[in-house]
Structure 1
Amino acid sequence: MDQQQVRDLLAKYRFGRCTEAEKALIAQWYADTARQQPGLPADLDLETAREKSWTNILAVVRQPHTLETQPAVPPEVASGSRMEARIRPARAFYAAAAAAAVFCAGHFWLSENFAPSGRNATQRMLMASTLPGEVKTYRLPDSSLVTLNGGTSISYPAAFDDNAREITLTDGEAYFDVKHDMAHPFIVDAGRTRTQVLGTVFAVRAYRSLNDVRVTVASGKVGVRNGEGYPEAQTAFLLPDEQLVVDNRSGRAQKEHVNARSLAGWIHGALDFNNEDLKTIALLLEKKFNVAVRVDDNTLAAQRLTARFRAEETLDDILGTLAMAGNFHYRRATDQVLISMNEH
């Protein structure tokens, strides 16, 4: 399987939609990956290791644990209120455990169980994720806080090394409140961008299905560099209430002045669309309400809208307002919303 197929299968597993045949494909992928690992014992029984790994995954998912996260709303956003997210043994935990197990269990049995002894703990990677409709805050190894929007996943080492504090935003949107440390830069890799700070508050939006990566600064100073492979390497420095939009295809970067706190309203359930195209708005509504939202016309999908909605407003409230502003029609089906041009 190629990397995109692997990601698609892991996403299906995360939501409990894998067939037995697809589970077998994932397990086979583990075995194929194992054969490429350096330093494995010559007499390693890959089939036994594969079966053991899959058994461990299922055991992790089925355990009746309680998962506690940090407060879901950072203090500077919540205006003094304190909220704590406690996820009890329910679908949210099992889905998160499944995601962690699928991404990490293979790493455990490939690296921890069979790698040479003396392996540095900083090489062990952890994963944090949210389902659509969830917002959760995690404390990183350096005590920095990261708040994840719905449908987001990040990976980071169990302990940062002596040079830098580096994490990867695999998919989604994250809000970082970084502990200041002059000696250890804090780095976020997202798509083909690399954001570096010493200690600040900023957000990165990098949903894989969108056309750009957005870095928004609430306080401090941030440096952003586009990745390798673009025609021209660029580095931009952002100050509070500045946002950098990096096109995923061309690497072209554009700086804009924004209201950073307003754009981070999703942390406490609000939505702020700042000249967003309807395709992006549809995705953000999916991540908030856990309902598929489809736009059936490319021209309509490119239409841009600006609007702000309170946390208590429903999906129908929001769609009704947007439909009037954008002159489109929407209808609710069993498990999705369909947006189309108004009929004349």
Structure 2
Amino acid sequence: MAEQDQSLSAKRQIEAEARDWLMAVYAGKADQAGFHAWLSASSAHARAYRQLEQAWRDLPLSEALDVEIRRKVGARQRWFVPAALAASLLLCLGLGVAWKASTTGNEAGLAYASEIGKLRTVNLPDGSTVALGADSAMAANFSKTARAITLDHGRAYFDIAHDAARPLTVTAGNASLHVLGTAFEVWKGPSGVRLSVTRGRVAVGVNAAPAYVASLGAGEQIVIHEDGSLTKIAAFAEKDLLAWRQGRLVYRDAALADVVADMNRYRALPVKILDPKAGALRVTAAFRADQSEQVLAGLAASQPIRLEKSQGGVILRAKN
């Protein structure tokens, strides 16, 4: 009897941990290395997580990992918080309660996430479309007078429907991007936030400053660093930039830290760079997104770095 009680207690503990991880993943707050270490520690962990994720998908307002909630909110509650929604849903899952949200509000809070190694296409209520890169997440908030999207992590290609009465603001890190109707990619990684415009114009703001600091047209690109500094506006190759939509990753003189961050969005076990010197190395490469193991081996042979396998993934260091 005591053994049965211990077994049940262990099972409940694993289920509780799985709920915590699922909430963190879809709120964009998960420590990826810790998450993958937990998954690989036990087959019971992986099984509990898969079962909970399937239950998440089966919720009435969840379709293919896209979560939608509509509700009335006051002016001071405009921003939708993914973590709050995730907590509510997971509480319902933990209690075994069927839950359904109201769809009568005049504002819509929307949260979307893609899985590791998988892309998502999102159709927004205003007719805009968003291609989410692998392991990416965003939240959106639409009202009668404004449209707002926050890219929490990863990358996304936006094709925004024109609506002069409702300008759109995309926030990523310390950057805010202002558009009416245009197409552009936003990438968020170790180097900061990169904006690349393929159609129309996008105005760039930094750190919530009232004035725009740059305006980009089609074929132009800029990077906004964490300290608020900007690179010079430069041209880019659209075919290379958007190759990820066809399963390829292309880099020209990119920081190794940025390349590895993108690789990790396709890997079950992540690569972790422990040496800033190694992360700053410049890399030019093109490869299929599922070829990261071969690419890492090639980098170890051609760059002053070494790889160390660990239970939680791969550790990358600079050679002494």
TM bucket, shorter chain:
0.5 to 0.7
Change (3 A) 1:186 1:106: same
Distance 1:107-1:296 versus aligned 2 partners, 3 A rule: closer
Distance in 2 (alpha carbons) for counterparts of 1:304 and 1:58: 38
Q: Is the 8 A contact 1:155 1:169 kept in 2?
A: yes
How far apart, CA to CA, are the structure 2 residues paired with 1:321 and 1:341?
15
Structure 1 position 341, deviation (Å): 2.9
Q: CA deviation at 1:240?
A: 2.0
Pairing 1:31-46 to 2, within 5 Å after superposition: none
Contact 2:221–2:233, Cα closer than 8 Å, also in 1: yes
Q: Alignment length, in residue pairs? A: 256
Whichever residue aligns with residue 84 of structure 2, its letter is: F
Secondary structure of the corresponding residue to residue 141 of structure 1: coil
1:223 to partner: Cα distance: 1.3
Contact 1:293 1:339 in 2 (8 A): yes
Structure ranking higher on relative contact order (CA contacts 8 Å, 6+ apart): 2
Match of 2:177 among 182, 195, 207: 195
1:103 to 84, 87, 91: 84
Deviates more, 1:131-140 or 1:59-68: 59-68
TM-score by length of 2: 0.68
**Secondary structure of 1:261's match?**
helix
Q: State the alpha-carbon separation in 2 of the partners of residues 268 and 189 from structure 1.
A: 26
Q: Displacement, 1:286?
A: 0.5
- Indicate the residue corresponding to 2:151 in structure 1: 169
Unpaired stretches in structure 2, ≥5 consecutive residues: 1-19, 39-51, 68-80, 90-101
1:150 Cα offset (Å): 2.0
Matches within 5 A, 1:36-115: 61=56, 63=58, 87=64, 93=65, 102-104=83-85
Match of 1:51 in 2: none
d(CA) in 1 for partners of 2:212 and 2:179? 16
Unaligned runs of 5+ in 1: 1-6, 20-56, 69-86, 88-92, 109-117
8 Å CA contact 1:305–1:326 kept in 2: the answer is no
Question: Residue 60 of structure 1 contacts residue 101 of structure 1 at CA under 8 Å; is this kept in 2?
Answer: no
Is 2:276 the partner of 1:298? Answer: yes
Shift of 1:104: 1.5
- Aligned-pair CA distance for 1:203: 0.7
> Is 1:243–1:256's contact at 8 Å kept on the other side of the alignment?
yes
Distance 2:103 2:263 in 1: 43
Identity of aligned residues (%): 27
Which residue of the partner structure matches residue 282 of structure 1?
260
Query: Does the C-alpha gap of structure 1 residues 141 and 234 become closer, same or farther in structure 2, counting only changes over 3 Å?
Result: same
Indicate which of 217, 225, 228 corresponds to 2:197: 217
CA distance in 1, matches of 2:197, 2:24: 30
Conservation of the 8 A alpha-carbon contact between 1:202 and 1:217: yes
Q: Structure 1, residues 279-338: CA drift from partner, whole Å, max 9, x if none?
A: 221111111223211123221111111212135x51222213333442322244343112
Aligned CA distance change for structure 1 residues 122 and 206 (closer, same or farther; 3 Å): farther
